[in-house]
Amino acid sequence: MTLGFAHFLVEKVLSGGEISFEEALSLMNLQGAQTYDLLAAANRIRECYRGNRISLCAIINAKSGKCSEDCAFCAQSAHHKAKIEAYPLLGPEIIVGAAERAWRNGARRFAIVTSGKSLSHRELAKVCIAIERISRQDKIRPCASLGILNQETALRLKQVGLKRYHHNLETAASFFPNICTTHHYDEDLTTIKIAKRLGFEVCCGGIFGMGESIEQRVELAFTLKELGVDSVPINFLNSIPGTKLEGRHLLSPLECLKILATYRFILPSCDILTCGGREVNLRSLQPLMFTSGASGTMVGDYLVTQGRPPQEDLELIEDLELEVDRGVSN
C-alpha cells in the first residue's frame, strides 16, 4: 500500500463516490506514516460535508440499573455485579433541569436515556411530559434512548414532538452473540427501521474494543450506511469492574483515531460523534479526534462514568479554531 492510498480514496469520496468494504478494510489496516495520511484525509471529508462546526450533545441517565439484558459491557445489567447507583425513572422536573444545564454547557441536543429493554406505559407517560416541556423551551433539542421500540411507542413519542431517536447497534451482527444473548440483533434493526419509517432522525452507533475484529468494525459501518442513520456515536470500551468485559485492555489512541477516520470515509455526510470512553482511550490525543473525522462529541458525564468538565471541551474546540454548532441541524 502506498502513501497515496488514502489520498486516492479521499478524492473519490469528495467527488461523490463511495468506497468499498475492501477499501475501508485497507484504510483501517494502515500503519506508520500512512495512518497520519488517513487522518488528514478524513479531516478533509469532515470539512467538506460538515464544515468547521462541532456539534455537542449531552445525556441524562434517567433510569438506572436492574436491566434484564445481559450486554457484556454494561454496568447496568442485572446479570452483572458492577457497583453502580440503581434508581427508578426520574421525574420530569429533574430531567428538564438537566436539559437546561446541558444547554448552558454548550450542548444543543439532550438525550433521555433509560435502562431496560423498554418502558412501561406509566414510565413512557413521564418521559413524554419531559420531552414536551424541553421542546417548549425551544433551547435544546430532546432525543430519547428508551430501548426497543414498537409502532405504538414510536407514534406516542412523535405526537409529543420528539424528532430524534437513539438506539445503538453496539457492534456488527456477526459479533453481537458474543455481547448479548437476551435479545436478537434483528430487534435492534427493527427499532431503527420503525424510527426511520415514522420520520425520526436516527442516532445509532456502537462500542469498539470489545474483542471485535477489524472486519467487524467495518461491517458495522456498512450496516449503518445501509440503514441511512443520521448521527453515529462512536464509543470506546471503558471496561467496568463487575461486567463480563472487566479487565479488557483499552484500544490504543491511534487505533481509535483510525476507526473515526475510516467511518468518516464510509459515512461522509453523517454527524460522527466521539462519546463514551474517549478520555481513557484517546488520552492526550483527544484533540486529534476533530482532525480525524469526528464532527461532534458528548459533553458532561456518561451513563455510569464521569466525563471531563464541559469547559475543557469548549476550550479544545476554540483552540483548534473550530466553532461550536449553536443550532439544531444535523
User: Which tens digit of pLDDT belongs to each residue from 210-266?
Assistant: 999 999 999 999 999 999 999 999 999 999 999 999 999 999 999 999 999 999 999
CA–centroid distance for 237 within its chain: 12
C-alpha cell at 198: 415514522
- For residue 269, which amino acid is it? S
Per-residue pLDDT for 131 more than 50? Answer: yes
Residue 27 lies in a domain: no
Residue 322 lies in a domain: no
pLDDT digits (tens, 9 = 90+) for 59-107: 999 999 999 999 999 999 999 999 999 999 999 999 999 999 999 999 9
How many domains would you assign to the chain? 1
Compute the average pLDDT of residues 108-123: 95
- Residue of 14, 7, 34 whose CA lies nearest to 258: 34
- Residue of 254, 262, 200 whose CA lies nearest to 228: 200
Per-residue pLDDT for 328 more than 80? Answer: no
Residue 19 lies in a domain: no
Judge whether 263 and 294 are in contact, CB under 8 Å. Answer: no
Residue 293 lies in a domain: yes
The mean pLDDT of the chain is: 95
Residue 25 lies in a domain: no
C-alpha cell at 287: 484533540
Question: What residues pair up with 323 in beta bridges, in sequence order?
Answer: 53
pLDDT category at 330 given cuts 50, 70, 90 is very low
- pTM comes to 0.95
Compute the average pLDDT of residues 176-201: 97
Q: Which domain holds residue 183?
A: 38-317
Residue 116 lies in a domain: yes
Residue 5 lies in a domain: no
Q: What is the CATH number of the domain that holds 160?
A: 3.20.20.70
Per-residue confidence (pLDDT) for residue 172, from 0 to 100: 98
- Alpha-carbon span 94 to 126, nearest angstrom: 11
Judge whether 205 and 168 are in contact, CB under 8 Å. Answer: yes
| 192 Cβ neighbours under 8 A, 6+ residues apart | 167, 169, 202, 204, 227, 229
Residue 4 lies in a domain: no
Judge whether 232 and 298 are in contact, CB under 8 Å. Answer: no
- Alpha-carbon span 107 to 103, nearest angstrom: 5
